[in-house]
Structure 1
Amino acid sequence: MQFLVLSRRRTDQFSDADFKQLVPSEGAQARYLYGIGFTRQIWHRGDIPGACQIVEAKDESEVHEKLATLPLAKAGMLDFDVVPLKPYTGFSKP
């Protein structure tokens, strides 16, 4: 099952310096999650500091488990919105 994950950096509670310390390990863990097929696509957000990604998991619980492995999440520096996705049927023939 696929999910849309929107993350937001908690810039109201943490400084740029706080984030900068964890960025290298965050990137390494993001590459790992991509390598195991969890993260399918990922982008930096253009509106606020954070990311948007499409992930693959058996259920929403697994999504939260995997996201919790990110160093910024472990440090309480991110908020997540997780949206389950369903196939779009508008292109199917009637």
Structure 2
Amino acid sequence: MQFMVVMRRRSERFTDEDFKALVAEEQAEARKLYMEGLLRQIWYRGDTGGGVLLLEADDLDAARAAINRLPFVERDMLELTEFMPLKPFGGFGLR
């Protein structure tokens, strides 16, 4: 099952320097999640600090556990504004 996660930086509580100090650790954990097949795609947000992730996991609990491994999430530096399960679109199939 796939999940879309939308996150926003908590810049009102953390400085750019706080984030910069953990970037390498965050990227390393994201690579691990990717190699494990849990993280499928990741984007930076264009409207504010934060990101959007596409996860693949057995269920919601497994998806949340994967996200919680990220250092920014562990330290409550990101607000998870959306955490949604996705269903396949059936409109391209034959009728």
Q: Which amino acid aligns with 1:91?
A: F
SS in 2 for 1:14: coil
Count of residues paired in the alignment: 94
Match of 2:92 in 1: 91
SS in 1 for 2:19: helix
The unaligned stretches of length 5 or more in structure 2 are: none
Aligned-residue CA RMSD (Å) = 0.9
TM-score for the superposition, normalised by structure 1? 0.94
CA distance in 2, matches of 1:76, 1:24: 17
Q: Structure 2 matches for 1:4-83, cutoff 5 A?
A: 4-80=4-80, 81-83=82-84
Identical aligned residues as a percent: 45
User: Following TM superposition, where does structure 1 have runs of at least 4 consecutive aligned residues deviating by more than 4 angstroms?
Assistant: none
Q: Which amino acid aligns with 2:88?
A: P
Cα-to-partner distance string for 1:4-60 (whole Å, 9 max, x where unaligned): 111111111111111111111001000110010001111111111111111100111
CA distance in 1, matches of 2:23, 2:66: 17
Question: What displacement does 1:79 show?
Answer: 1.3
CA distance in 2, matches of 1:79, 1:62: 19
